[in-house]
Structure 1
Amino acid sequence: MAIRRLHADAIGMLLGGVLDAVFGDPRRWHPVAGFGRFAGAVERRTYADDRAAGARFTLVAVGAPVLVAAATAWLTRRRPIARTLVVAGATWAALGGTSLAREGRVMADRLDGGDLDSARAQLPNLCGRDPSALGAPELARATVESVAENTSDAVVGPLFWGAVAGLPGIVGYRAVNTLDAMVGHRSARYARFGTASARLDDLANLVPSRVTAALTVAAAPAVGGRPGEALRVWLRDGGRHPSPNSGQCEAAAAGALGIRLGGRNVYGSRVEHRPHLGDGGPPAPRDVRRAATLSVVVGAAALGLACALRAGAARRRAKPTGVGLRGEGAA
């Protein structure tokens, strides 16, 4: 039965990836939006301006959906079709690669058309920077950086944890990542309360971000880049970013695209100066399109790898070791 479950997980993840590629994010009744409402209700009941309260909030907000997912996985352990459909639905809901690439291409079209007002209006769909004073080069840079980072968050991360832990891994990762977006950012309200969520998100993304960077290096030829250059920039610049994970993805993307990222970022009243990543010039609208294409290629590679790993675990469990036979013969 364990073998059948793992095969169902692999097929379900593949179907979920196909659904995302065809339809993008669900238009209505998105489960992540429902989780956001649940987490908001928990926050209202548990909020206090200290880290202990934030840790309790994170435990409940992440633990509850993981327990539901684990119970669902257990209930479908002898129902491979149901298991496949549940995993497919969860994977579709957790992935955001198609919508991410689409938003990037919309930004490129608006920049190409010279419509800065609509390009600025588009940026909040991609990141939280203040777009009001940004020109075309900075809008392009913000988009490329967001696409690179979110390729890990919205694609590779859920697939990695699905390969590792099946349905609970997919659901748990999406819960952690959503909480980080809700309370993990720097603000007066969440400076302490959001610490646990932010640190858990950092931990959950340590491996996926580096897998994303490695796949970005391998996918560089798909956008006219060189894997050797992408690898060089990743290894040199990946640790310069204040985030332990975002810089890995952004540096690899900068190397693959042959551009330079980083600089001054404005988030409301907060200003951050990010180190430069890469050796080229600032990104142009063409590079925004290339970044979207790179994200799609990396996502496809991650989907194939995750399904192969999950199915491979089933084959390893099915392979007899022969130890028991030899032992019985000796007896």
Structure 2
Amino acid sequence: MSAARAIGLILGLAADGALGDPRRRPPVTAFHRVVAATGSRRATGLGIAGAAVAAGVLAERAGRRSPVCQATATAVATWAVVGASGLATQGTELARDLEEGRLEPARDTLSELDPRVTDGLSTIGLSRASVETLAENTSEVVVTPLLWGAVAGVPGLLAARTVGLLRRLLPGHWVIDRLDELVHLLPTRVAAALTVLGAPVVGGSAGGAWRAWRRDTIAHPSPNAGRVEAAFAGALEIRVGGRTEYPQGVVELPVLGVGRNPDAGHVTRAVELSRVVGWLAAGTSVFVALLSGVRRRNP
């Protein structure tokens, strides 16, 4: 059955790439709208996460009757929650708008991806925020659901994405924040490691990515946030981090990476690096799914 799960992950990713921007797919937008509509109240946030797991468990059990059913259920869930195609599309839009000096459209696109306040950000500020956001979202909407899907199937895919959405809908919710940290604890480190491996593919520095990841995230207040951002900054030989404004206030984050301030060209390279990390994450997830099946057959 783990082979069927691996096939489902591949098919779901293929559908994500072939069908383009997930913002225009009814199943994807419906999933986001349900979470947004019901999870925006603190009292129901945990219930939504539990419901997502329950729905995934039912789908997984139904799929155990045949490899075809399990592969299909996994493919549909992967297609519904993994956002690699949309992230690449929005990242390309950001890079193009910044290159052409169109800051307002860039602010609008960035606001769709990140909760920070974008008003007043200059080209440098928007470029920095774009690289940070592309790095963070590569981990959150690509690497994390794929790894949890490889380990736990449909429940892992749905739960991982739902918790990430709830964290953005309910900032400051202690339980949701702790769940989010737990869900992303391993995937963020895997994403940073894959960034190190993938950096040379886009002409980046693997050594710089490794050093920034290991050196700069020590000072970061979160156990997860900043790891992939630091690795991206090191790979692209730029600096990110620093003063960041959110609706709830201004946060002084540590500077990640060394080198020059980013520009539109670095945003384009960050999109390319995000794609490479996504491909490596897909291969890693398929390997994990197959390995887990071998271990279950040979305890």
Q: Same-fold call, TM > 0.5?
A: yes
Matched, 1:154 2:133: no
Q: CA deviation at 1:42?
A: 6.0
The residue aligned with 1:99 is 86
Q: CA deviation at 1:125?
A: 2.1
The residue aligned with 2:224 is 245
Indicate the SS of the match to 1:246: coil
> Relative to 1, partners in 2 of residues 1:239 and 1:178: Cα closer, same or farther, differing over 3 Å?
same
Deviations 1:51-97 (A, max 9, x none): xx5xxx44421111211211221122122212111100101111111
The residue aligned with 1:76 is 63
Unaligned runs of 5+ in 1: 48-52, 186-190, 322-331
> Relative to 1, partners in 2 of residues 1:72 and 1:267: Cα closer, same or farther, differing over 3 Å?
same
Unaligned runs of 5+ in 2: none
Contact 2:151 2:292 in 1 (8 A): no
Range with greater deviation from structure 2 (78-87 or 18-27): 18-27
TM-score normalised by length of structure 1: 0.85
Given candidates 105, 114, 119, the residue that maps to 2:106 is 119
2:17 partner amino acid: A
Indicate the SS of the match to 2:226: helix
Indicate the SS of the match to 1:273: strand
The residue aligned with 1:280 is 259
Range with greater deviation from structure 2 (18-27 or 63-72): 18-27
Looking at structure 2, the residues matched to 275 and 116 of structure 1 have their Cα atoms a distance apart, in angstroms, of 25
1:233 partner amino acid: A
Given candidates 85, 96, 121, the residue that maps to 1:134 is 121
Looking at structure 1, the residues matched to 191 and 38 of structure 2 have their Cα atoms a distance apart, in angstroms, of 33
Given candidates 24, 35, 38, the residue that maps to 1:27 is 24
The residue aligned with 1:180 is 167
Indicate the SS of the match to 1:133: coil
Contact 2:39 2:169 in 1 (8 A): no
Matched, 1:224 2:221: no
> Relative to 1, partners in 2 of residues 1:128 and 1:26: Cα closer, same or farther, differing over 3 Å?
closer
Given candidates 107, 130, 134, the residue that maps to 1:143 is 130
RMSD of aligned residue pairs (Cα, Å) = 1.9
Matched, 1:65 2:52: yes
Range with greater deviation from structure 2 (87-96 or 15-24): 15-24
2:27 partner amino acid: H
> Relative to 1, partners in 2 of residues 1:42 and 1:271: Cα closer, same or farther, differing over 3 Å?
closer
Looking at structure 2, the residues matched to 269 and 179 of structure 1 have their Cα atoms a distance apart, in angstroms, of 16
2:24 partner amino acid: R
Looking at structure 2, the residues matched to 102 and 14 of structure 1 have their Cα atoms a distance apart, in angstroms, of 20
Q: CA deviation at 1:35?
A: 5.5
Deviations 1:158-179 (A, max 9, x none): 0111111111111111111111
Question: How many correspondences in the alignment?
Answer: 298
Given candidates 34, 38, 43, the residue that maps to 1:37 is 34
The residue aligned with 1:328 is none
Matched, 1:291 2:270: yes
The residue aligned with 1:14 is 10
Looking at structure 1, the residues matched to 72 and 23 of structure 2 have their Cα atoms a distance apart, in angstroms, of 16
TM-score normalised by length of structure 2: 0.93
Identity fraction in percent: 42
Given candidates 250, 264, 280, the residue that maps to 1:301 is 280
Tell me which structure has the larger Cα radius of gyration: 1
Looking at structure 2, the residues matched to 233 and 290 of structure 1 have their Cα atoms a distance apart, in angstroms, of 17
Deviations 1:103-153 (A, max 9, x none): 111111111112223222322122122222111000000000000011110
Indicate the SS of the match to 1:134: coil
Matched, 1:314 2:290: no
